[in-house]
Amino acid sequence: MDKALEAWFIQEILPYEAALTRYLAQKRSRAHDVEDLRNDIYIRVLESASAVRPTVPRAFLFATARNLLIDRTRHDRVVKIDQLEGLAVTNVLVDDISTEQQASGRQQLQRLAHLFDRLPRRCREVLWMRKIEGLPQKAVAVRLGLAEATVEKHLYRAVKTLSEALNGNAIRTDRVNHEHESDIEPQHGK
């Protein structure tokens, strides 16, 4: 490293080391991560400054820190292939489910399917498109010709109704026409 770059670094960047360390500590909980990040930031700053010195060193330092944190977050979200290989071994444990657990699981799934079929048509459609097909709310609204707020309302009612029904409250069946929103209100006390 040339003497001018070293002098610039000492004068313009190092005075912010404590502030940078606090900033990184807020973003990362492990102390050794903070030190590693700080060193990587210094390397990036020095590499850039060797070509062109930033006009506002403090802003450049913290922008570099933010960008490195974003890069690390992206990197941490990527699943490594060797981690996936280890998962293949753990799949052997799936066969250890008892016959009773399998039967119970089937019964719960059948009950959920039955409750789903008893939801009002629009609630069923919205719930299916959002949670099974994975469509965004806006796409569901376009496909069904509804406002996004209406899609949100149908989804909320469907999930609330299923949740309540699974917890022991019945879906009202006293009306034949399940198109009305009031049909999905749970009966309390029955």
Distance, in Å, from the CA atom of 181 to the CA atom of 11, rounded to the nearest integer, reads: 68
| Closest alpha carbon to 39 in 59, 58, 65 | 65
121 and 163 together in one domain: yes
pLDDT, tens only, 100-148: 888 888 888 888 889 989 999 999 999 999 988 888 999 999 999 999 9
128 and 181 together in one domain: yes
Tell me the β-bridge partners of 186. Answer: 171
- 87: tokens are 């998962």
**Residue ranges making up the domain that contains 23:** 3-77
Distance, in Å, from the CA atom of 167 to the CA atom of 106, rounded to the nearest integer, reads: 17
For the entire predicted model, the pTM comes to: 0.42
Q: Is residue 82 part of a domain?
A: no
The CATH number of the domain holding residue 182 is: 1.10.10.10
Distance, in Å, from the CA atom of 146 to the CA atom of 152, rounded to the nearest integer, reads: 10
Q: Is residue 90 part of a domain?
A: no
Q: Is residue 92 part of a domain?
A: no
60 and 130 together in one domain: no
Amino acid at 124: R
Number of domains in the chain: 2
120 and 161 together in one domain: yes
